[in-house]
Chains A and B, each alone.
Chain A
Amino acid sequence: MSHAAAAAEFIADEERTRWHDQAVWYVRQKRDRAAKSLPEWETLRETASQIKQHTLSKLDEYLEEFERNATRQGAEVHWARDADEHNAIVLKLLEQKGTKRVVKSKSMLTEECGLNPFLEKAGIEVIDTDLGERIVQLRNEHPSHIVLPAIHVKKQEVGELFHEKLGTKRGATEADYLTEAARHHLREKLLAAGAGLTGVNFAIAETGGIVVCTNEGNADLGTALPPVHIASMGIEKVIPRLEHLGVFLRLLARSATGQPITSYSSHFHGPREGQEMHVILVDNGRSQQMTEDDLRQSLNCIRCGACLNTCPVYRRSGGHSYHATVPGPIGSVINPARDPARHKSLPFACSLCGSCSDVCPVKIPLHHQLLSLRGKIVDRKLLPASKRWSMKLAAMVLKRSWLYRILGFGARCSLRWLPRFLLYNPLNGWGRQRDLPEPATKSFRQAFRDRNRKPGDK
């Protein structure tokens, strides 16, 4: 389904669209306040972008350095070319330990790989421990936002869901009460788990450590209790040095939610005593994304979600209308970059306003990339026939000035005289929600001639 078709379903509920828009905009405003509180904000962005660019220019070396040091710290490093291989590695590790109960802290990568359904099919219980992610998991949905997975769900809906699944009072809607119920439910699951899965925010080549950021402490509980820790990361998450975290951690939470830093920024270097630690390095299309100069910078992304929060299209169409693990501007770049046929409508879900590029903490030129992807989609002939033919027609007219003049004259007359039902016909998609403009009385040529005519000329 195209983004526009899915978005049409979302905006059919006007009140909900407004609510969603405001909820997301509120987060953008918090980000603005946090960014303005640091005079060096622009220096941090520029530095972060340069660190990422440098890393991509030597990514193979940094991956090897990370592997060497992580191994030295006692972790086992695995490599997965794609989602299937990643999932197979996780399952094998769990089977070796004979565990059937797994807790997972937020990881967009395991979402991308479809790990949950894969493990469930193998008879393993997977519990997402981030509250927002647990809510969407219980609803049999996917996250609609990369940082706020349940931003599309209203508290009344959470109340009904928890009443049904966790036995809370019917009709309860207070966030405190519902979070308390989830706390008990999740702590029980955390204590019973045989393995803890986490994502990775940053992997440090120099030390072989990984950093995971959460507000709830669920990644810490999920790794401090069970005997196995499996961390899954995209290969672009590696940074050269420990000191670079100073730059990225200052940007991440401020850009994401407007907090000065997340409640927990945990640095794992090898397993704890008596524990096993595994790190899975996943490619899944990332190394191919490096081939194209104009798209490579999208690998800078630290998944803060700022571009989603600022995007006028995302705010008013909801994350699910993108039909992809990562929605919003960054999702509209990385998904079609990897699979243009499947995600061909996403680069067009954009007004090219450029706000995403302005807020991006690692300076990805998102709106330029979206424009260049549109060109690629045209070149691959992936545009729908209606757009292809209308563009051909427009090109034919614009190439012939006489034809353009005749049609211009025709349009000015017909817009003035034709009855409404003929103008707003089914072919006029633009006029479905808008009125056509008042036609000018003269053509531009005519108006220009009149303007240049000297006084007294006839």
Chain B
Amino acid sequence: MSDSRQQILETVRANRSTPSEMPSLDQSWTCYDDPLSQFRTMVKAVGGQTEVLCDAVAASEWLASQQAYSESRQRVSLVEEVGTSDLSLDDLARPHDLASLEWAVLPGEFGVAENGAIWITDRSARHRAVYFLCENLVLVLPASEVVHHLHEAYERLGKFAASEEAPFGAFVSGPSKTADIEQSLVIGAQGPRSLVVLLIGQP
């Protein structure tokens, strides 16, 4: 195997192209007058829903007022004061036991205005599967945490890369979807069937 490594690297080295500069990413990328409103428009466009609420209590009340949520049997929340939990993630030995989870209320770190994506990590979740296996996903983040575009997003994530043990992280944009049957868009492929984004506080 080390033979292969050496052989590949040697061929690549021998076939290098002429040196070329790394381009600068310091460009004038499009920004938005109101990033929060652009973010909400984009979340809607990718099949999600947003609500702006003044605090965690209001968010919890809003959730409780949703019939689909209040009448469900299996819910979990990893966001303090928002939503309820019928099971504890830490008590589950295997992520497989989350297969019939109906609602998950989970933290998002920040949103991206240009594409409606939300950055999530598994820092607070013992099983990262909870983000993908639940039937309905609710992401909670401060309304002030919306960046303009992905360049700004990765600037923010610089520390993430440097950390010794970087967690799993993902941009989530809308619910799980597919258009693999004759280009007809269907929401709810293998993952969550719906995405609600609760934006807390003032932008």
A interface residues (Cβ-Cβ under 8 A, vs B)? 23, 26-27, 38-40, 43, 46-47, 50-51, 53-54, 56-60, 63-64, 72-74, 78-81, 85, 89, 129-132, 135, 148-151, 153-155, 158, 175-176, 178-180, 182-183, 186-187, 190-191, 204, 206-207, 209, 215-218, 220-221, 224-225, 235, 240, 242-247, 249-250, 257, 259-270, 272-273, 281, 283, 287-288, 290-291, 293, 296
Contact = CB atoms under 8 A, between A and B. Distances in A.
Given A26-B183, A47-B25, A54-B23, A290 B154 contact: no
Contact of B12 (A27, A63, A158, A242): A63
B131 A220 contact: yes
A23 B183 contact: yes
B142 interface: no
A57 B17 contact: yes
Given A79-B4, A209-B166, A287 B15 contact: yes
A91 to B, nearest CB: 14
Contacts of B7: 81
B95 A224 contact: yes
Interface stretch (B51-59, B62-70, B71-79, B170-178): B170-178
A272 B127 CA distance: 9
B90 interface: no
Interface string B156-167: 011011001111
B151 A85 contact: no
Interface in B132-184: 132-133, 149-151, 153-155, 157-158, 160-161, 164-184
B17 to A, nearest CB: 5
Contacts of B1: 78-79, 89
A40 B29 contact: yes
Nearest to A151: B183
A281 B46 contact: no
Contacts of A73: 165-166
A264 B171 contact: yes
Interface of B: 1, 4-5, 7-9, 11-13, 15-23, 25, 27-30, 42, 45-46, 95-96, 99, 112, 114-117, 122, 126-129, 131-133, 149-151, 153-155, 157-158, 160-161, 164-184, 186, 188-192
A257 B179 contact: yes
12 contacts: A58-B16, A129-B190, A131-B181, A179-B180, A179-B189, A190-B190, A207-B161, A242-B161, A263-B46, A268-B168, A270-B166, A296-B17
